Structure 1
Amino acid sequence: MKTKVIFLCVVVCAAFSIYSYVANNKEGALGDLALMNVEALANGEIGMAICVGDGSVDCPHSNVKVLYYK
């Protein structure tokens, strides 16, 4: 009876350890993927702006004041 309890405790500890390892690795992979996605989206924003007119809005390409940009 005592060996069965010890064996059960070892199995539960091993299962918990495996679950914790897998859960921690999934979060890291998702974080890396999300970071790459944000960087990819940010790279496309700079090249798309067209600055028009003279005004009080900063153009994303330079610090020139423009009426608006699209």
Structure 2
Amino acid sequence: MRQQKLDAKVGHLGTLDPLACGVLPVAVGRATRLFDYMLNKTKVYRARFTFGVTSDSLDPATPLIPVEGEKVTESS
């Protein structure tokens, strides 16, 4: 494989958390001008919660530990 030098501006719109999934927009050349437009767009975040547990690292990378205490109910 031959290497070539890319003489263009390259950029990305932020970084993803290692445990997150999603899209990391990357632009090359004149397309980097669109970043300002993209940054002002509405973002949507989705999350999944599990109540009644914790973990040593507070993320899903470690085993979940049951927590005693108040329970969340529909009437809460």
Structure with the higher fraction of residues in strand conformation:
1
Structure with the higher fraction of residues in helix conformation:
1
Normalized against structure 2, the TM-score is what? 0.22
Larger Rg: 1
